[in-house]
Chain A
Amino acid sequence: MSSVSAAASDAAPVRTQAQQNRADSAAGLSFVAPAALILFVFLILPLLVAFYFSFTNWSGTRPLDHPEAYEVVGLKNYDRWLVSGRRVDDFYRAVRNTLYYVIGVVPVQTVFALLLAVVVNQRWLSRKGFFRTAFYFPSITSSIVVSFIFLFLFSAGGPINAVLGAISPTYEPVAWTTNNDGLFHLFLESLGISEDTIGAWVETEIMDLEIWDWIAGPSVALSTIMALAIWTTTGTLMVIYLSALQGIPSSVYEAAEVDGATNWAQFRHITLPLLRPTSFFVVTLGLIGAFQVFDQIYVLQNDQTGRTTTSVAYLVYSTAFEGNSPNLAEASAIAIVLFVIIFIATLLQRRFVGGDRAES
């Protein structure tokens, strides 16, 4: 508690601390009640139901009022996807793809969003509304159009290859949208290292996937999807930063200017530290969202890139609704596993990078 109010309450003890705590408690509960009730009934209850179904063999189509709607099968669905089933490798490949996606997308979109927000918040910039809206557009442009443009830009004879070809005469056009080669594999290859020369250890299987496959890096096709995802989400995150920037009093900057601080110094020593909690928040949200990537993959993967672009969330969807034997129970089990992965990742992020609490 700050010294100002502490001094004031000494002078005029309107309420005791205990009374205040009790009042806060009551106010707190009544403030969270509506939202908590809604979240509990419409998110947490269904989540618990899905958790329960993940231990059954319910197909998702047999009516639940049917006497033999489902049986409880214990951990069978988890075992099938995580340990001993025929598609364990598909699951871990999706985990790998998702991890590379998260690691690639989250930091970049956070930095871009921050830079955009700072730029469109500059006092010297006139027509801020125009620029802000323009930078926000990718977030609201329809995904169908975005995928059209994406396919055009990255096509074999498209502008990206043309520009790269113009810059470097030795450039060989890259099949951006269909190439399954991992970036790390390509890097190692350029150093003359291949699966055969690196040593036998890379053929060891960890969780049904060779180490060599784990360290592949995001494929060229996945990287292209990641670039697009960054482009479309940056605008949304920019809005969060933009709202947080309003919380920094202009008097702080004015004081710094009087002291002769450069723009960069102001950004480095004022803006960045004061936005720390916001950045942690943006990273947490970005992490949670990126781990559940589905739309971009659904729209942009093609008939050759399934193995290097399928995400865990995509696997959940396809298990629940696609193919010969859709199975909601198994999909729920994969979803619960993804939930656990995200939860752990979030805890790690808060532990090692920091939480969203303001530091005083």
Chain B
Amino acid sequence: MNINRVFGLVLICAMVLLAAGIASAQDMVTLRVWTGSSSPVENEFKEAQIAAFEEANPGIDVELLISPDYGTQIRAGFASGDYAEVFTVGQFDFPQWQHDGLLAPGSMYIEAQEDIYQGLRDAFTADGELYCAAKDFSTLALLYNVDAFAAAGVDAPGADWTWDDMAAAAAATTDDDMVGFSAAADKFRWMTLFYANGAEVFDMDGAVAFDSDAAIEALSFYQSFVADGTGDLPSNLNAGWNGEAFGQASAAMTIEGNWAIGYLNDTFPELNWGVAEIPVAPNGGRGTLTFTECWAVSSRAEGAVAEAAWALVNFLTGEGEHGGHAVAAAGFGVMPARAQFAELWSQTVGEEYAAFVTGASYATAPIFPLGFGDFDAAVNEATTLVMTMEEDAADALQEAADVAREIQAEME
């Protein structure tokens, strides 16, 4: 074999390899996808979704990272400027992350936006731009102990149940072993009543209205259960949270979210319980809170990578069989973010939990604007002071509202 032939062979091999390399580099897009660890079933669900996407898109390689401590890990990534192309964003993180320029605008890319619940779109909209697609959500509703209600001769709560009905039921079900209502000192419980009663954090003109009469009425009503002994804080009922107090049958009612479904059924299989919408306010208003997470695309993704990233987001959250449909069909606690799959979700988990999904149409994502961290802390403090009977609702809310007014004045 002469030297030229060897050289020629090597050259040809090198060229073939090079061509193959260029070809694969052009075809193959790698996406890093980061999210937090939720329940084991949900983790498996996300893995299956990603696997389905990779199968449907052979040119896209997805590296999924389910983090043990997502908040810390993604922040470290943000700080270094080197972070995932696709990642989840919780509603409370959204204002800050959007402000910090971490998220790519999504109005142009997210499919069939009008089908996503209004409240969820609002949660991820800034300056009229929708940034990311809600993947699923939870709402709060009224959980009640069916047996306790029957024993006390109280009818199961229906859609027209009012605050007065609730107070009467709490009084009727309270006995030596049980209080009527488990009322956690958590702003994200009593604010269901706040929104139902027509209260707002800011009024139409943008002025702080957190201490309006409607707000005071709502918090006073929530406090009244503790005040008259027909309710108590879960920490006084030997429980870490409402769900535990309710499950142990220490309380006949509580306000909790759909995450309690799995917990109650696994941990208290003999508990006979039902769900109703948050009772109607005296003025006939309805309200509840919603908690949601979305899939976002990094503002640093460009070209083919950005395209692939949005394709993945639509795959995970869209109308296709692996998006909202799959969330609904999986039937683990969280609900699909698209109204068209609400029915399917109820069928999967059981019609008895439908009140959670009914609330979606009037639910509010309770997000305070950026820079209102002190107000956030003040609302927490006000809630604790009211629920430990150290202050009345009017004073506590006024103190918190004054903090918001001060922040507003400083910002101008």
Do A and B come together as binding partners? yes
Q: For B384, what are the chain A residues with a Cβ–Cβ distance below 8 Å? A: 303-304, 306-307
The reply to whether B240 and A151 contact each other, CB–CB distance below 8 Å, is: yes
Contacts of A121 in B (CB 8 A): none
Residues of A within 8 A of B368 (CB): 324
What 0/1 pattern do residues 296 to 321 of A give for CB contact below 8 A with B? 00000011111100000000000001
Q: How many of A's residues come within 8 Å of B, CB to CB?
A: 33
Render A57-71 as a binary contact track against B, CB cut-off 8 A, 1 for contact: 001111111100000
CA–CA, A59 to B185, complex, Å? Answer: 28
Chain B residues near A61 (CB, 8 Å)? 75, 78-79, 96-97, 100, 102
Write the chain B residue with the least CB distance to A303: B185
Q: How far is the CA of A60 from the CA of B102 in the complex (A)?
A: 12
Residue numbers in A under 8 Å from B377 (CB-CB): 87, 90, 323
Contact A62/B78 with A151-B238, A304-B235, A325-B373 known, Cβ cut-off 8 Å: yes
In the complex, what distance in Å separates the CA atom of A156 from the CA atom of B177?
A: 13
Cα separation A90 to B373 with both chains bound (whole Å): 13
Query: Which of B78, B95, B373, B388 is packed against the most chain A CB atoms within 10 Å?
Result: B373
Q: B184: which A residues are within 8 A, CB to CB?
A: 303
Contact check, B75 vs A304: say whether CB atoms are below 8 A apart. no
A64-B80 in contact given A321-B71, A325-B370 (Cβ < 8 Å): yes
A219 lies within 8 A of chain B by Cβ:
no
**B residues less than 8 Å from A178 (CB atoms):** 233, 235-236
B101 an interface residue at 8 Å Cβ cutoff? yes
Chain A residues contacting B78 (CB-CB under 8 Å) are 60-63
Contact between chains at A304 and B233 (CB < 8 Å): yes
Decide yes or no whether B111 CB sits under 8 A from chain A.
Answer: no
**Chain A neighbourhood of B268, CB < 8 A:** none
Interface assignment of A86: CB less than 8 Å from any CB of chain B: yes
Interface membership of A104, Cβ < 8 A: no
Q: Closest CB-CB distance, B34 to chain A, in whole Å?
A: 14
A307 to chain B, nearest CB (A): 7
Q: Is the CB of B238 within 8 A of A63?
A: no
Q: By the criterion CB–CB under 8 Å, are B372 and A325 in contact?
A: yes
Q: Which residue of B lies closest to A306 (CB)?
A: B384
Q: Does B42 contact A (CB under 8 A)?
A: no
Q: Given the interface contacts A303-B234, A304-B388, A327-B373, does A60 sit within 8 Å of B75 by beta carbon?
A: yes
Min CB distance B356 to A, Å, is 23
Distance of A275 from chain B, by nearest CB (Å): 40
Task: Report the minimum CB–CB distance from B229 to chain A (whole Å).
Answer: 15
Question: With the chains together, A73 CA to B52 CA distance in Å?
Answer: 49
- Closest B residue by C-beta to A68: B101
Residues of B within 8 A of A87 (CB): 374, 377
Q: A65 near B72 (CB under 8 angstroms)?
A: no
Q: Would you give the shortest CB distance from B289 to chain A, in whole angstroms?
A: 15
CA distance A155 to B234 in the complex (A): 12
A66 to B80, CA, bound (A): 10
Residues B235 and A323 in contact, CB atoms below 8 Å apart: no
At the interface, yes or no: B202 with Cβ under 8 Å from chain A?
no
Q: Which residues of chain B have C-beta atoms less than 8 A from A85's C-beta?
A: 374
Q: How far is the CB of B383 from chain A (nearest CB, A)?
A: 8
B189 to chain A, nearest CB (A): 10
Chain B residues near A65 (CB, 8 Å)? 81
Q: Which residues of B contact A60 (CB under 8 A)?
A: 75, 78-79
Q: Is the CB of B372 within 8 A of A62?
A: no
In the complex, what distance in Å separates the CA atom of A161 from the CA atom of B185? 25
Closest to B235 in A: A302
**Besides the contacts A158-B238, A303-B235, A324-B370, what 17 more A-B pairs have beta carbons closer than 8 Å?**
A59-B96, A60-B78, A61-B78, A87-B377, A151-B238, A156-B236, A302-B240, A303-B184, A303-B185, A303-B233, A305-B235, A323-B377, A324-B376, A325-B370, A325-B372, A325-B376, A326-B373
29 A-B pairs within 8 Å (CB atoms) are namely A60-B79, A61-B75, A61-B78, A61-B79, A61-B100, A61-B102, A63-B100, A64-B80, A64-B81, A65-B81, A66-B81, A66-B101, A86-B374, A87-B374, A155-B238, A175-B236, A303-B184, A303-B185, A303-B235, A304-B384, A306-B380, A307-B381, A307-B384, A321-B71, A321-B75, A323-B373, A324-B373, A325-B96, A326-B96
B positions within 8 Å CB-CB of A: 71-72, 75, 78-81, 92, 95-97, 100-102, 184-186, 233-236, 238, 240, 367-368, 370-378, 380-381, 384, 387-388, 403, 406
